[in-house]
Amino acid sequence: MPQPPGLDALTRLRRTVFRTPGPLRWVAIGTLCGTLALLVLVGVVFRTGLGIVPVVDARDPDGGNGSRGGAAAPVGVAPSPGTAPKPVPDEFVPLVLTAGNVCPAVPAPRVAAQLMAASGFDANVLGEDGAEGVAQFRPELWQAYRPSEDAVATDPELAVPALGRAMCALVEELGQLSGEAYPTALAAFQWGPEAVREAGGLPDAPSLRAFAEMVSDYTAYYERDRRIGDRPSTPPRRTPSTGPTASQPAGGNPGTTPSTTPTNGAPASPRASVPSSPSPSASWQERTIRSTAALRREESWTSNRLQLTLTDDGDVVLRDQGRTVWRAGVADRGGHLLVFQSDGNLVLYSRYGGTVWSTKTARNNGATLVLRADGNVVISSNGKVVWQTGTAG
């Protein structure tokens, strides 16, 4: 049976090689193998040059695996000394305010300045010793101050509030080592608390001094940002005067109505100051709280019916038309900051970042906290209630 031309040629070549006598046989075999290897190599180079075989660059900016549309984002670069500050991005403003409410030593302008110096508000910066994210948390610090076990330092909505808790705790813990409490805390955040303790205070290192100077310069810049810096205080609430006015002499007269000045001349409280029961047909409003939002002690989220308050003794209390209808029951346990987080969890933190109480509703990203018109307070995620006070009525 006749063979194809190519196969017939290979057969004849094989017979010729293996019939070659003595040492020449091995020379022929080596020559044949080398020729085949050279042909394969030439084919690969040719295909690569034409773009048939893709060349994968491990540092491909469009995807960590060299393919378009990869999940990895371009690695950011931390600012260097002398870099001009950027305005706080709008989406960072509530996060910076939340972090700046933890303690007086770390106000919002300092939080913004530290973020600018660490990453320039870029969550994709990868630093030394595993530091990552917009705040450049080291792994051990992130583990200590992360809001939940599955939280990642590259998520600004979690990392920025955690930065406030971490810095306040470090100021309190290490500030006594030297007279420079805040720079010492900055050094501990960068190098770790153990390094600062071993140095007995602020280490004398050029990199730490340069970073502290950057934060100081940026702080002065952000103090002028009205969104996070010094803002005019709320004017005191006006209360109706109970004394006589220019048009109403203190002595009164028989023609004055009892609602203004009694006939005996003594000034009476205005009618507006007398509390009255709400009308049964009152139109109650609903208020929605979105993450990230926070309350300090004696602050509240309110509607025209409900008031959810972090009390002076650290408890979380719900009042309906002034009457207490629900409480978390954690008074005097150190509750310092109530945070509705981006993961849907409502958490009461201590001054040092420990969890005092929570609704245990994490992993509900995008959830909302709603003060409902019916008197109930709920956390709702994708149209489903995941937590409630049970006070509807």
Task: Name the residue ranges covered by the structural domains of the chain.
Answer: 90-222, 287-388
pTM of the predicted protein model = 0.50
Q: What is the pLDDT of residue 276?
A: 43
- Count of Cβ atoms closer than 10 Å to residue 221 Cβ: 17
pLDDT of residue 74: 62
- Picking from 181, 183, 150, 196, the residue whose alpha carbon sits closest to that of residue 341 is 150
Q: What is the pLDDT of residues 211-228, one digit of tens each?
A: 999 999 999 999 999 999
Fold of the CATH domain 90-222: Lysozyme (1.10.530)
SS3 state at 137: strand
Q: d(Cα 229, Cα 367) in Å, to the nearest integer?
A: 29
Q: Report pLDDT for 14.
A: 60
- Residue that has been written with the tokens 């009390």 in this structure: 311
What confidence tens digit (pLDDT) does each residue in 86-136 have?
Answer: 999 999 999 999 999 999 999 999 999 999 999 999 999 998 889 999 999
Residue 212 gets the label, from left (phi > 0), alpha (psi -120 to 50) or beta, of alpha
User: What is the pLDDT, as a whole number, of residue 18?
Assistant: 58
CB 88 within 8 A of CB 123: no
Query: What is the spatial distance between Cα 246 and Cα 125, in angstroms, rounded to a whole number?
Result: 67
Q: Where are the beta strands (DSSP E) in the chain?
A: 287-290, 293-296, 299-302, 306-310, 316-320, 323-327, 335-340, 346-350, 355-358, 368-371, 377-381, 384-388
Task: Using alpha carbons, select from 301, 320, 79, 341 the residue that is nearest to residue 210.
Answer: 79
| Strand 316-320 with 306-310, pairing | antiparallel
Q: Which secondary-structure segment (H or E) carries 17?
A: helix 5-19
Task: List the structure tokens of 117.
Answer: 């110096």
DSSP, res 152: -
Q: What percent of the chain clears pLDDT 90, i.e. is strictly above it? A: 49
Listed residue (48, 104, 102, 120) closest to 339, CA to CA? 102
Which residue, chain included where needed, has tokens 């280490």? 203
Q: Which CATH superfamily is domain 287-388 in?
A: Bulb-type lectin domain (2.90.10.10)
Q: What pLDDT is recorded for position 71?
A: 44
Q: What is the pLDDT along the chain (393 residues), one digit of tens a residue?
A: 555 555 555 566 566 655 655 566 666 677 777 777 777 777 655 554 444 444 333 333 333 433 333 444 566 788 988 999 999 999 999 999 999 999 999 999 999 999 999 999 999 999 888 999 999 999 999 999 998 889 999 999 999 999 999 999 999 888 777 668 899 999 999 998 888 888 888 888 898 889 999 999 999 999 999 999 864 433 444 444 444 433 344 444 444 334 433 434 444 434 333 444 444 446 899 999 998 888 889 999 999 999 999 999 999 999 999 999 999 999 999 998 898 998 899 999 887 778 899 999 999 998 999 999 999 999 999 999 999 999 998
pLDDT at 128: 83
- SS3 per-residue string spanning 184-233: HHHHHHHHCHHHHHHHCCCCCCHHHHHHHHHHHHHHHHHCCCCCCCCCCC
| Helices 181-191, 108-119: crossing angle, 10 deg rounding | 40
Q: CB–CB of 151/102 below 8 Å? A: no
Task: Tell me which residue has tokens 């010729």.
Answer: 16
Cβ pair 260, 248 in contact under 8 A: yes
Any bridge partners for residue 301, and if so which? Answer: 308
